[in-house]
Amino acid sequence: MSDEKARPGIEALLEETRQFPPPADFVAKAAVSNTSLYEQAENDPEAYWAAWARKLDWILDFETVLEGEAPDFTWFADGKLNAYVNCLDRHVEAGLGDKVALHFEGEPGDRRTLTYADLLREVCRAANGLRSLGVTKGDRVAVYLPMVPELAITLLACARIGAIHSVVFGGFSADSLRDRINDSGCKVLITADAGWRRGKPVPLKATSDEAVAATPTIEKMVVLERAGVRHEMVEGRDIHWSDLIDGQPDECQPEWMDAEDVLFILYTSGTTGKPKGIVHTTGGYLTGVSATTRLVFDLKDDDVFWCTADIGWITGHSYIVYGPMSQGATQVMYEGAPDWPDCTRFWNLIEQYGVTIFYTAPTAIRAFMKWGDDFPASADLSSLRLLGTVGEPINPEAWTWYHERIGGGRCPIVDTWWQTETGHIMISPLPGVTTLRPGSATHPLPGISVELRTEEGEVIDEGGGYLALNRPWPGMLRGIWGDPDRFVRQYWSFWDDKVYFTGDGAKRDGEGYIVILGRVDDVISVSGHRIGTMEVESAIVEHPAVAEAAVVGRKDDITGEAICAFLILRDGFDHSPELRAEVQDFVGRKIGRFARPKDVLLTADLPKTRSGKIMRRLLRDIAEGRALGDVTTLADPGVVQSLKDRYQAEG
């Protein structure tokens, strides 16, 4: 953590006083409609979670629940189960084989319906295919696919045979893919020729080829033919998906896993240049995602659930694949952009498939607002009964629009706070119980305990502070792949008493309502995607023209935050608009398009403390056009004023 820790970022927000109690007809049918679950969980959190765990199918029942000490906790450690079997076999055995698991729609309009029996068959064939490539329990499999059913199928196929999947979002660059493959030593990469985005194929095979040129551990590459894009196949290394599963039997013996065997790794940005491979295990994670799917989304057997996240992020892992599928839900899965071919796409999908529960990101909601009310008004959204948001704070204005224009004023909104690291939702309303306040994720879920703390570790009952999780929970991360020291340093060492630090600031009012204020570390959230400032800085300084770079997040109306980069050029390079665009593209190629800086300011100097640290807080003030903050510790106060003048002039 840098000088930012002391940043007075725990700002007071607009006072929001409106309240929305759960509508009576919602309460009447809700799975949970009173607060007794909170009390029950509070009296005995372990018994509470054990009861949820026992709703899953275990091949060997557990006797122990929570064991260990911070940060090395285990859950249900002596039990054995298979995540996949819990997502598929048990539903088919219960007679739900004909129930639709996925209504898939590709961006070009192609459709596929997969029942639970279809999925079971497809996944068994894929799992057998992976086994035929020599993949066995504990092997790491990198997955770099568009949002098509094969992405979910691949995850479940890995789970069936005990392989550890590491999904890399399809928007990441070759370098990012390469680094993630190398960090966890993946043996196989599963990719596609391309995926569709805004009418164009986004190449994945070509990027994969570039990445695996420097990944010594990759033995095989599986290529799904999705978009009909020409691609090269490397003899002996590459195999098409269709050939992999061709002739494979429909049945596949599952690998029985210890509850604490690793289910997956998912990389997320942190405060250093290197992404962290967050490790999740099987029994606790599945318990957490299945419980929260039932409680937070009030999921019923006839619901049609649509989570718009990409499976490349944790939201898709937990609330497309493992949560809803473990609960036998019917889901909508859509490949492409919300504004393709026009801005009615999402609303048409809701109407067509009769979506009842819709879960999306505030960034998307703000974009819908900007596009205008006519688009949602043109579709019949009356099937909706519950809305959700995730990934970033939602401003009350966007909340209100979502409530009225999408939810018709009748649907509760669950504003769900959680992280890649927490595995499942931690702070959220229960829609049949909680009185909502726009902008507040409300209260911790039953069994979850949070604290707001000062930097010194003093607990704050009311007001702003650092958000801490002071009681273990089943889906908690078990580590950072290959880096136990960083795990302790990053999450468990902020205070002396080994309590988990989230990296977020929050405030709580007298009635216990929590408002998340955002990251207090050097992580920027662009459209809810976490990007480390250091990661962007190290990408930029690789550009031959750049001597030094400092990157900050500034507020943005649509994406929540936007990346703003301040650069010092090497001698011999001139400031020019072309160079600026080049640096933007360069970062896009190094990390991924979503990490391109929105603003690039070329400067002669950067404000630094006397000890040489870049004063990001001042840069943020400049980027947001605020009055200058405290410059007394600045080595050269003049730098700031000239930077500010430049920024405003170049706008």
Q: Could you tell me which stretch among 29-37, 205-213, 218-226, 309-317 binds ligand WTA (CB under 6 A)?
A: 309-317
Cα–Cα distance measured from residue 118 to residue 111, given in angstroms and rounded to the nearest whole number: 15
Q: Could you tell me which stretch among 98-106, 243-251, 326-334, 496-504 binds ligand WTA (CB under 6 A)?
A: 496-504
Q: Is 159 helix (H, G, I), strand (E, B) or coil?
A: helix
**Minimum distance from CB of 475 to ligand WTA (Å)?**
12
**Minimum distance from CB of 330 to ligand WTA (Å)?**
23
**Minimum distance from CB of 392 to ligand WTA (Å)?**
5
**Minimum distance from CB of 292 to ligand WTA (Å)?**
12
For ligand WTA, which residue of 74, 282, 331, 419 counts as binding (CB under 6 A)? 419
Region 420-479 residues binding ligand WTA, contact defined as CB under 6 A: 420, 441
DSSP E strands in 55-149: the ranges are: 66-69, 72-75, 80-81, 100-105, 111-115, 140-144
Cα–Cα distance measured from residue 194 to residue 203, given in angstroms and rounded to the nearest whole number: 4
Site mask, ligand WTA, residues 365-404, x = CB under 6 A?
Answer: -------------------------xxxx-----------
Tell me if 521 contacts ligand WTA by CB under 6 A.
no
Instruction: Measure CA 48 to chain center.
Output: 26
Closest by CA to 32, choosing from 320, 326, 447, is: 447
The nearer residue to ligand WTA, 427 or 606, going by C-beta atoms, is 427
Closest by CA to 565, choosing from 578, 548, 545, is: 548
The nearer residue to ligand WTA, 163 or 480, going by C-beta atoms, is 480
Tell me if 226 contacts ligand WTA by CB under 6 A.
no
The nearer residue to ligand WTA, 164 or 531, going by C-beta atoms, is 531
DSSP E strands in 344-457: the ranges are: 357-360, 386-390, 413-416, 450-453
User: Site size for ligand WTA, by CB under 6 A?
Assistant: 23
The nearer residue to ligand WTA, 154 or 525, going by C-beta atoms, is 525
For ligand WTA, which residue of 179, 415, 599, 621 counts as binding (CB under 6 A)? 415
The nearer residue to ligand WTA, 226 or 519, going by C-beta atoms, is 519
Tell me if 315 contacts ligand WTA by CB under 6 A.
yes
Tell me if 503 contacts ligand WTA by CB under 6 A.
yes
- Which structure tokens are listed for 443? 């209260």
DSSP string, 131-146: HHTT--TT-EEEEE--
**Minimum distance from CB of 95 to ligand WTA (Å)?**
34
- Give the β-pairing of 220-224 and 188-192: parallel
- Residue 530 in contact with residue 523, Cβ under 8 Å? yes
The nearer residue to ligand WTA, 215 or 559, going by C-beta atoms, is 559
Q: Please, which residues have CB within 8 angstroms of residue 214's CB and are 6 or more apart in sequence?
A: 178, 182
Residue whose tokens read 């995730």: 390
The nearer residue to ligand WTA, 390 or 643, going by C-beta atoms, is 390
For ligand WTA, which residue of 264, 375, 418, 500 counts as binding (CB under 6 A)? 418
Total Cβ atoms within 10 A of residue 290: 26
Burial of 342 (0-12, 13-18, 19+ CB in 10 A): exposed
The nearer residue to ligand WTA, 215 or 525, going by C-beta atoms, is 525
**Minimum distance from CB of 264 to ligand WTA (Å)?**
14
- Which structure tokens are listed for 484? 């136990």
Give the sign of the dihedral formed by CA 425, CA 431, CA 437, CA 443. negative
Tell me if 416 contacts ligand WTA by CB under 6 A.
yes
Cα–Cα distance measured from residue 489 to residue 370, given in angstroms and rounded to the nearest whole number: 41
The nearer residue to ligand WTA, 221 or 534, going by C-beta atoms, is 534
Q: Which residues bind ligand WTA (CB under 6 A)?
A: 268, 313-315, 390-393, 415-420, 441, 502-504, 516, 518-519, 525, 530
